[in-house]
Structure 1
Amino acid sequence: MALLHRALVAWFVALVFLVLLVLQLDHRTQWSWFLVLVPVWFWDCLIIVLLALHIFSQYFSQDLRSRPWYFCRRLVTLMSPILLKITFQCLLCNRLDSPSSGIALYYLFIPLWLLLLAAIVKLTRILVPVCRE
């Protein structure tokens, strides 16, 4: 998928999501929050498919078959943030649809906190070089 196509799809998905969000927040509709987040989940599924195609094309084009742990680590490293985001979205939709569901806010935000912690660690490792003497 070309860069222009990805940008157009991203803008369209963001526009549809924001329209659905505004309609839901203004109480113009009585839709489920799962339905409001469908464009975001569509985007996440598209990203997962593109990442999987990229990883498997690298696996078959290079000699990564001799290093299977590198392949597995790369797959987990690239897929886990999106899966944490989807988990957070599902928990949030469940909480918003039924506030008496019994899910505490602490447990609701655990996937988001893990995602932010992993992003901070990754950026710190990139920005702060390790002195190896």
Structure 2
Amino acid sequence: MAVLHRALCTWFICLIFLILLVLQLDERTRWSWFIVFIPMWIYDSILILYLLFNMITHCKNGHDGSLRTMKRKIWCFVCIVLKLTAQIMLCLKLENNDRSIYIPLYYVMIPIWIILAISTVDIFFTLISNRSA
């Protein structure tokens, strides 16, 4: 049942974010972009807390001899932090239309590109190791 609750929570938060995004893009509201992204930041903070709790319990209990699961948790944590970085930079770019702080779009997208590149390598090695096993 916990999986169903997590899925419903994820879809609900995504729905709220998309509604706020559509309202902002249609110019029906004059909110800050930081307000529009609040549902995503709430979701990311829940994920970070969940991962930190799992890492702490993993270290306290010493579940397995290999560090593969811990490496996976650390990788997920790094991805969430990179995603948060990209969101904050995107909000800064969208907020500063008057060019007081100019951030080129390719700087905003660097964290996303890092996530995509490392995920591609990770998936490739996972497929190779599963095929040989």
Distance, in Å, in 2 between the alignment partners of 1:130 and 1:50 is 27
Distance, in Å, in 1 between the alignment partners of 2:63 and 2:87 is 37
Determine the structure 1 residue equivalent to 2:124.
Answer: 124
Distance, in Å, in 1 between the alignment partners of 2:30 and 2:131 is 57
Determine the structure 1 residue equivalent to 2:82.
Answer: 84
Over 4 Å off, 4+ runs = 69-75
Write out per-residue CA displacement over residues 28-70 of structure 1, whole angstroms, 9 at most, x where no aligned residue.
0000111000000100000011111111111111267x99x88
Structure 2 residue runs of 5 or longer lacking an equivalent are none
Q: Scaled by the length of structure 2, what TM-score is found?
A: 0.85
Task: Give the CA deviation at 1:129.
Answer: 3.4
1:92 and 1:108 in contact (8 A); partners too: yes
Task: Give the CA deviation at 1:75.
Answer: 5.3
Determine the structure 2 residue equivalent to 1:109.
Answer: 109
- Tell me whether 1:40 sits opposite 2:40 in the alignment: yes
Determine the structure 1 residue equivalent to 2:23.
Answer: 23
Identity percentage over the alignment?
38
Structure 1 residue runs of 5 or longer lacking an equivalent are none
Q: Which amino acid aligns with 1:51?
A: L
Matched length? 130
Aligned-residue RMSD, C-alpha: 2.5
Task: Give the CA deviation at 1:78.
Answer: 2.7
Distance, in Å, in 1 between the alignment partners of 2:72 and 2:10 is 24
- Tell me whether 1:58 sits opposite 2:35 in the alignment: no
Q: Scaled by the length of structure 1, what TM-score is found?
A: 0.85
Task: Give the CA deviation at 1:96.
Answer: 0.5
Find the partner of 1:98 among 74, 96, 99. Answer: 96
1:14 and 1:39 in contact (8 A); partners too: yes
Distance 1:124 1:7, change over 3 A: same
